[in-house]
Amino acid sequence: MGLALIGVALIIIGFALRFNPLVVVTVSGLATGLIVGLPLKELITQFGEAFTTNRYMSILIVTLPVIGLLERSGLQNQSKHLVSKIKAASAGKILTFYLLIREIAAALGLNSLGGHPQTVRPLIAPMAEGAAEAKYGEVPEKDREEIRAQAAAADNIGLFFGEDIFVAVGAILLMKGFFDQNGIKADPIFMALWGLPTAIFVFIVHSIRLRLFDRKLDRKLGNPGRGKMDSEVVRK
Amino acid sequence: MIISTEWIYIAMGIVCLFCSFYTFFDKTNKRRILSGLFYFIYAITLLFGKIIPPFYIGLMVLAMVVIVAFGGLQKGGYGETAPDELEARRKRLGNWLFLPALLIPILTVLGSKLLVNVKIGSRLLLDPSNPTLVALGVACIIAILTAMLLTKSRPQTAFKESRRLLEAIGWAVVLPQLLATLGTIFTKAGVGTVVSKLITKVIPENSVFWIVFVFCVGMALFTMIMGNAFAAFPVMAAGIAIPFLIKRFGANADQIAAISMFAGYCGTLMTPMAANFNIVPAVLLDLKDKNHVIRVQLPTALMTLAFNIILMYLLVR
């Protein structure tokens, strides 16, 4: 019985040793299947079947032509340009605003407003980077990466903790179905409402973290408000 | 239905297929044949997944993994636009550039909300099994036509640009699909039952706080292993929430459900197994450390997990 956990162990070891995830996942899948006694031919069939059923997970491919073409025409630059006109903008503030919109939209069932390939890469990440550039001038690549990672995180966090506030979302329906099967009364409306405390908490915590992120950038790249001398001292 | 999900997969397959042609003929790529083959095989699985018997799809998937394992998948050259030229193009269209980009989410939302039960004749317009996916596919097709008109580009340019992005994503493009496959095999092998048995063994039966603690942390851990909170909930709820919290301490099922799913999502924020949320974006945003997004999410995830434990404890107590 415990042998089935060898697959899990392989995943953890493989990821920890930074082998290619594709290889790690495949080896773990094959090992798990063989350990529990699936014949090889059936195991490969399982691979093929699940791979085909889950094609929807690769939907980002359908967005590539639009995003690619727009990037070639300067969309990312335009996103930066637009934000650089707003004086009060900062990377953290833009991402807090996006987090808020993403979370509220998801709570209203509008999950598809947002997403990494169609919104974060061409719009949100360049806007946050553009705001930092407008504020500090040159931004080192290391900090740019941090800003982009923050943009991706804001998208995930807003989506996850917003969507369960919407009654008709998959998670709520799954749980309702599960409780029904086990003869326990559950009401989707209350399930959604009891998500609110956590949804509000996560917004507060993450926006505080984004504010601290702004402060960190201020300290590192110089706060224009405090003058150049100050920031040079700090940089040393 | 009139527009089925299969059509969207075919559109995805066509994009991959054209990309693979460009890769095959890219002289700047040292491994252009193997790299092209990777995208070509992937295109075939997208296009004909429904027709080709699963065993052969399985073999094709393994072939793709072998290509990656032996370093056969390399990036090519794309004739990058010079910054000045890019700036000139940006000025030409200005804010009009946002139009096609914004059309994608707006049309997807409109399509998936308004057209969901619309029938033409006696047939549903959108595939009821996944209307959002179909709406997104159609939105992208309208957006690409708009973008081509605006930028006066030919379809070839759109495919070339897709190839630049697809090669930038590289092997990560199939990772979410492969992880979902692994999830299916884990479920078949009974990994879930083993994990929940192990967790219920350590549970201190009389302390509400520690039951809540084990349940919420278990949801997060299980989600990290499976990459998916949906897989964790039935196992953990059947193993801990129903027998201990609901039946013994009379906890409210609605509260348990809402909070435990969020505990699971905290796990999603912390695991590379949720590749489409954590790894693919890292690749898309050109981050050197593929775990960078997870690193950024970690503090928020841990604090939220702690909040969920305290909240559930206060409600059940």
In this structure, are B99 and B164 located in the same domain?
Answer: yes
Tally of CB atoms within 10 A around B195? 23
For residue A170, what pLDDT is reported? 80
> Averaged over B109-115, what is the pLDDT?
85
Residues A86 and A52 in one domain: no
B42 and B166 share a domain? no
**Can you give the pLDDT at residue B57?**
97
In a domain, A27, yes or no: yes
Q: Do both A106 and A175 map to the same domain?
A: yes
Residue A224: per-residue pLDDT: 57
Count Cβ atoms within 10 A of the Cβ of residue A2 and give its class: 0-12 exposed, 13-18 middle, 19 or more buried.
Answer: exposed
Among A200-209, A220-229, B47-56, the minimum mean pLDDT is found in A220-229
> Does the structure show a pLDDT above 90 at B125?
no
Distance CA A109, CA A105 (A): 6
pLDDT bracket for residue B58 (50, 70, 90): very high
Chain B residues whose beta carbon lies within 8 Å of the beta carbon of residue A80: none
On whether both B301 and B205 belong to a single domain, the answer is yes
Residues B312, B181 share a domain: yes
User: Domain range holding B299?
Assistant: 176-316
pLDDT, mean of residues A214-232: 68
User: CA neighbours within 13 Å on the CB side: how many for A116?
Assistant: 27
In A, minimum Cα distance to B173 occurs at: A58
Q: What is the domain range of residue A199? A: 74-235
All residues of chain B having their beta carbon less than 8 Å from the beta carbon of residue A184 are 242, 246, 253
Rounded to a whole number of angstroms, the distance from the CA of A227 to the nearest CA of chain B is 30
Which of residues B116, B140, B170 is at a domain's end?
B170
Residue A116: other Cβ atoms inside 10 A: 25
What pLDDT does residue B69 have?
A: 95
Mean pLDDT, residues A180-197 taken together: 91
User: Minimal CA–CA distance to A217: which of A99, A131, A113?
Assistant: A131
How does residue A231 score in pLDDT terms, banded at 50, 70 and 90? very low
Contact B126, B115 (CB under 8 A): yes
For tokens 């998916």, the residue is B228
Domain presence at residue A69: no
Nearest CB partner across the interface for A45, out of B58, B275, B279? B58
Please, which pLDDT band fits residue A1 given cuts at 50, 70 and 90? low
**Are A19 and A51 found together in one domain?**
yes
Q: Which residue of A has its CA nearest to B17?
A: A61
Statement to judge: residues A115 and A206 lie in one domain: yes
Q: How far, in Å, are A108, A110, A155, A189 from residue B113 at the CA level?
A: 11, 9, 21, 20
Q: Are residues A116 and A225 in the same domain?
A: yes
Q: Which residues pair with B124 in a beta bridge?
A: B119
Residue where a domain stops, chosen among B142, B170, B198: B170
pLDDT digits (tens, 9 = 90+) for B21-36: 999 999 999 999 999 9
Of the candidates B26, B178, B143, which has an alpha carbon nearest to the alpha carbon of residue A122? Answer: B143
pLDDT of residue B88: 87
Per the structure, how many domains does chain B have?
3
User: According to the model, what pLDDT value does residue B255 have?
Assistant: 94
Query: How many domains is chain A built from?
Result: 2
Enumerate the residues of chain A whose CB falls inside 8 A of the CB of residue B258. 164, 190-195, 198
In this structure, the answer to whether residues B64 and B188 fall within a common structural domain is: no
pLDDT for the residue numbered A206: 97
Last residue of a domain, one of B15, B50, B77: B77
Verify that B91 and B65 share a domain, yes or no. Answer: no
Tell me what percent of the residues of chain A surpass a pLDDT of 70.
94
Q: Is A183 exposed, middle or buried (0-12, 13-18, 19+ CB in 10 A)?
A: exposed
Does any domain span residue A185? yes
The predicted structure's pLDDT at residue B1:
66
Residues 6+ apart with CB under 8 A from A29: A7, A47, B178, B181, B182, B185
B123 and B203 in a single domain? The answer is no
* Helical residues (DSSP H) of B97-154, grouped into ranges: 98-114, 131-151
Q: Which of A46-55, B192-201, B305-314 has the lowest mean pLDDT?
A: B192-201
**What residue type is assigned to position B107 of the chain?**
L
- Give how far the C-alpha of residue B206 lies from the chain's centroid of Cα atoms, to the nearest Å: 40
- Asked, for residue A66, whether it belongs to a domain, the answer is no
Calpha distance B254→B275 (Å, rounded): 29
In this prediction, residue A219 has a pLDDT band, given cuts at 50, 70 and 90, of very high
Residue B66 pLDDT = 97
> Using one digit for the tens of pLDDT, what is the confidence trace for B267-317?
999 999 999 999 999 999 999 999 999 999 999 999 999 999 999 999 998
Together in a domain, A138 and A190: yes
CA B239-B242-B247 angle, to 5 degrees, is: 135
Chain segment B150-195, per-residue pLDDT in tens:
999 999 999 999 999 999 999 999 999 999 899 888 888 888 788 8
E-strand ranges in A155-212 read none
Q: Check whether residue B144 and residue B249 sit in a common domain.
A: no
- pLDDT of res. B28: 92
Give pLDDT, residue B84. Answer: 87
The pLDDT score that the predictor gives to residue A229 is 42
Same domain, A201 and A151: yes
Q: Looking at residue B126, what DSSP letter applies?
A: B
Mean per-residue pLDDT, A140-145: 95
Same domain, A131 and A195: yes
pLDDT at B277: 96
Mean pLDDT of B225-248: 88
Cα–Cα dist A153/B285, whole Å? 12
The 10s digit of each residue's pLDDT in B60-109 is 999 999 999 999 999 988 887 888 888 888 888 889 999 999 999 899 88
Chain B residues with CB inside 8 Å of A78's CB? 90, 93-95, 97-98
| Alpha carbon distance B297, A152 (integer Å) | 9
Provide the pLDDT for residue A228: 42
Residue A156 has, within 13 A of its CA and on its CB side, a CA count of: 30
Partner-chain residue, chosen from A33, A58, A205, that has the shortest CB–CB distance to B12: A58
